[in-house]
Structure 1
Amino acid sequence: MNKQFEGTILPENQRFSILLSAIFILLKLFLLHCYAAIYNITSSNPLSQNEILISPTQVFELGLFCLDNTTNQYVGIWYKNIAPRTVVWVANRENPVIDSLASLKIGSDGNLKIVDENEVTLWSTNVSVRSNSSVAVLLDNGNFVLQDGLSEQQLWQSFEHPGNTLLPGAGIGYDRETGERRVLSSWKSNSDPSRGDFVTEIVPRSPPQALIWNGSVPYWRSGEWNKLRFIGLQGMDSTYSRAISLVLNDDQESGYFYLSLNTTDTSITILSEGTLKIMSWRKDTGWYSTWKRPNNTCDVYGTCGPFGICKISEFPICSCLEGFVPKSDEEWNKNNWTGGCVRRTELSCLAKTSLEASQGEETDRFWKMNGIKLPDKSKYQDVKDVNECGQWCLNNCSCKAYAYVMNIGCLLWSEDLIDMQELSSGGEDLFIRLASSELGDHIIDLSNIFKMNLVSS
């Protein structure tokens, strides 16, 4: 008697889907082994589906590729001899090629274009080109460049249009004069390079600082740049100071400043979950992370709310500044500190008239904190020294705190103090304005120096 096969028969549409996926995987494997290397793209020599553009000494490759679990095609740049493939830039990240053959070509207007099999343009450099003699080349630093083939004038470069990764020689920053803003923007996921939720930028303040945004909400910040390092980064020693540099134009109000990497084996990437990482490469270990932020809960912007300070080594990690109490005891007891703290005692300068103050009434004083990641939203004041900085703050009732930082000078705060962290090493001194009654007998009278009192915490 014949035995009947008792297996599960898949529906026809599911079998077709599995067959299509298998064919696509085989096609990708076939193409990986059949790529032809080219060294430039011209109007008569486009980059087709089975070709790879290679940098002169074969450090980087550029070509069409697909990510895992998707048939969408992208034009991207990756390291040639590093496995698994590490994509550092994607041209058409917002507009992939779907279910069609594609090519990268120089059009009749001299611009680079990604077109599908129907010659529909999916991405273009879209710059003004005087002739159609354009040539595109991939440099050994990973910069993809469109240049005039006659004059070799650079017309466009990928370094001016960063994705989620910053390579050595590239930069992010802001040009106040033109309004240009270069940022790193995360992928949506490992299989979707379109713009995600997180953006890293150098904010055009004086002094500038690095900031990660989660949509329109601050997620992490570096603290101010003091011409050597970002002062809010614990452990940012000479190793990292050599790896990055921030160059400001002489005219900071209209100049362009950028963050660049100084070492060739290093990159900075903003991941889809919002982590900013400095990555380095070693032949024996591959890629490894040398630094990342946020690194803990205290690194996340505003964890302890206004007038709260975070210390990761303590529990609870948040506490109120001297002279402040939780805004909501109920929320605070639930370890929800984002509401922050409020003053226990009104400032003397708000409670008294200037006439009363001039007649010898008590004035506000300052509580000194050491080793602090300074709060956000500082304002620079051009004064000669720390004494003049403190006096300026005391004379202006809107001034809630001040600090005098090496290579920066006088910083003042007129808004709520937020995103403060106590650092185990490094950090700055911060002087917080309090009503004199808050300080009791702990006042150290330094009035002979600049007619104000400072109290050490």
Structure 2
Amino acid sequence: MQMDTGKEGFSALNFSIFILLLFSLLPLQCCSQVHDITPSRPLAEGQTIVSPGNLFELGFFSPNNSPANKYVGIWYQNILPRKVVWVANREKPLAVADTVASLRISRNGTLELVDGKQNSVWSNNVSVPSNSSAAALFLDDGNFVVKVNAGAADHLWESFDYPSDTLLPSMLLGFDSKSGERNFLSAWKSESDPSTRIFLAGLTPEVPSQLVVWINGSTPNWRSGPWDKSKFIGVPEMDDQYQSGFYLDENAQLGTKYFSFSLFEKTVAAYMDISSEGVLKLIYSKHGENWNTFWEAPKSPCDNYGACGPFGACKSSESPICKCLKGFVPKSLEEWSKGNRTGGCVRKTKLFCESNTNQSVALRGNDDGFWKMSNVKLPDFHEYISSLSAENCRRQCLDNCSCLAYTYVNNIGCLVWSKDIIDVEEFSSAGQDLFIRLRTESGK
């Protein structure tokens, strides 16, 4: 049989080669990665953009495959289970049935999410100068930013300034006291609903600061203890092995205070988040493997704020976990015996300085002393006194009848307490020494 080399055979062969070439090019076209949104290239349902290093992805999602709502968010691309780290429209979900919604750059340069009827669902409320071109860029650290021109150094807007429930490496958690702006972590309402719930996590304004989880923004649920320039000293897991990755930058002149953390190993991914139950966690993944929990709080009953009330101390390894500080007795024996110890304790014997008011403060204090507690999470409501040695710290507290306790912490200095001693937890290791003021007769 002879091969047909006529015109029809040649055309069929060329057509087959053309089809093969066309399909060989399709994967390159469909899988090309996009890192930005421009006025001419919005993000539509079913599309995603990825960070240049392929660690993060941004797109539409339905949490837990919710049959009702969907959102625009950012998540780790290839680590399971999928962790959503930021949500744009967390209070205004789109309907799952809306398949023509898009995230776009509007004519005035605003980044906005519009539904299928072109109604604005969410926007960053930032417009660009006239005669300028805006673009939304996805960066390698998971930050989603809007710039005027892709090569510009400054960001007009960035997702890092508007945290959801997650703190990523290099994100800032804190406040600007002059502008009143504060960055909190706010918990999802549930695993299927990213709208805000009652739990917030953030920094306190006192010196030194603490990391606190609040209920409804005001009632503390857990706190970290003070910052000692390398770690929060009420968190035993923040030992020397990890302390170099944590930072708290305070600028008194600008009125800013921000906490952040960083990673030194490129093979490790990590984040801190607050769960819908109010649990603050530090999570990590090595080499892209599944997530592991490094630390979480509250974890034990003693981690709950004020578990044993004023002038009580909590130790999770003992039963019962609560006891009164030395020199104190339960405020209500009836409630204490029932296991309700949040009412705390009261002083058994008045301080000497309180019962001899006709003498000078210095003389009145001479018959009071201090009882040392070791390995404790320091109580709340500390007052910072600078430039004092440990002995001068003790003396200043002793000479002031309203001073109920003191400590001297390396890298911090002198801390004193004049309010109720509350939220003291005893650790098996780590922690600090706390000196409780007692009348000498009851303190020996």
* TM-score clears 0.5: yes
Give the Cα separation in 2 of the matches to 1:358 and 1:391. Answer: 10
- Which residue does 2:156 correspond to in 1? 155
CA distance in 1, matches of 2:127, 2:414: 45
1:361 CA drift (Å):
8.9
Equivalent residue number for residue 54 of structure 1: 50
Identify which of 50, 54, 75 aligns with 1:78. Answer: 75
C-alpha displacement of 1:37: 4.9
Give the alignment of 1:311-330 within 5 angstroms.
Answer: 311-330=315-334
Equivalent-residue separation in structure 1 for 2:365 and 2:275 (angstroms): 55
Q: Distance in 2 between matches of 1:183 and 1:80?
A: 24
Distance 2:409 2:387 in 1: 12
Counting only pairs closer than 5 Å after superposition, residues 165-176 of structure 1 correspond to structure 2 as 165-176=166-177
Match of 2:135 in 1: 135
Structure 1 residue 273: deviation in Å?
0.9
Find the aligned partners of 2:83 and 2:426 in 1 and give their Cα distance: 37
Partner SS for 1:248: strand
| Correspondence list, 1:409-424, <5 A | 409-424=413-428
Equivalences for 1:20-419 in 2 at 5 Å? 37-67=33-63, 68-98=65-95, 99-100=97-98, 101-131=100-130, 132-149=132-149, 152=152, 153-215=154-216, 216-249=218-251, 251=252, 254-263=255-264, 265-283=269-287, 285-355=289-359, 363-419=367-423
Q: Identity of counterpart residues, as a percentage? A: 47
CA distance in 2, matches of 1:438, 1:113: 67
Code of the residue aligned with 1:175 in structure 2: it is D
| Residues 1:340 and 1:167: Cα distance change in structure 2 (over 3 Å) | same
- 1:58 deviates by 2.0
CA distance in 2, matches of 1:361, 1:220: 34
Deviation at 1:151, TM superposition (A): 6.1
Structure 1 residues 48 and 359: alpha-carbon distance in aligned structure 2, compared to 1, 3 A threshold: closer
Query: What per-residue deviation string (whole Å, max 9, x for no partner) do you get for residues 399-420 of structure 1?
Result: 1111111010000101100000
Q: TM-score, normalised by structure 1?
A: 0.84
**Partner deviation per Cα, 1:335-394 (whole Å, 9 max, x = no partner):** 111000000111222221243767789632211111111100100012420111111112
Residue type of the alignment partner of 1:155: L
Given the superposition, is the C-alpha separation of residues 361 and 182 from structure 1 closer, same or farther in structure 2, using an over 3 Å criterion? Answer: closer
1:15-46, Cα deviation, whole Å (9 max, x unpaired): xxxxxxxxxxxxxxxxxxx9985321111211
Could you tell me which amino acid in structure 2 is paired with residue 107 of structure 1? S
Q: Structure 1, unaligned stretches of length 5 or more? A: 1-33, 443-457
Q: Distance in 2 between matches of 1:413 and 1:301?
A: 17
- Which residue identity is paired with 2:241? T
| Displacement after TM superposition at 1:290 (Å) | 1.2
Give me the whole-angstrom Cα distance separating, in 2, the residues matched to 1:38 and 1:344: 70
SS of equivalent to 1:265: strand
CA RMSD of aligned residues (A): 2.1
Partner SS state of residue 197, structure 2: strand
- How far apart, CA to CA, are the structure 2 residues paired with 1:360 and 1:268? 49
Q: Any conservation in 2 of the 1:167–1:266 contact (CA below 8 Å)? A: yes
Structure 1 residue 164 displacement after superposition = 0.8
Q: Which amino acid aligns with 1:97?
A: L
Secondary structure of the equivalent of 2:228? coil
Distance 1:358 1:424, change over 3 A: closer
Write the deviation string for residues 262-294 of structure 1: whole angstroms up to 9, x where unpaired: 345111111111111111113474111111111
Alpha-carbon distance in structure 1 between the residues aligned to 2:254 and 2:406: 23
CA spacing shift, 1:436–1:128, aligned 2, 3 Å = farther
TM-score (norm 2): 0.87
Structure 2: gaps spanning 5 or more residues = 1-29
Asked if 1 retains the 8 angstrom alpha-carbon contact of 2:310 and 2:343, the reply is yes
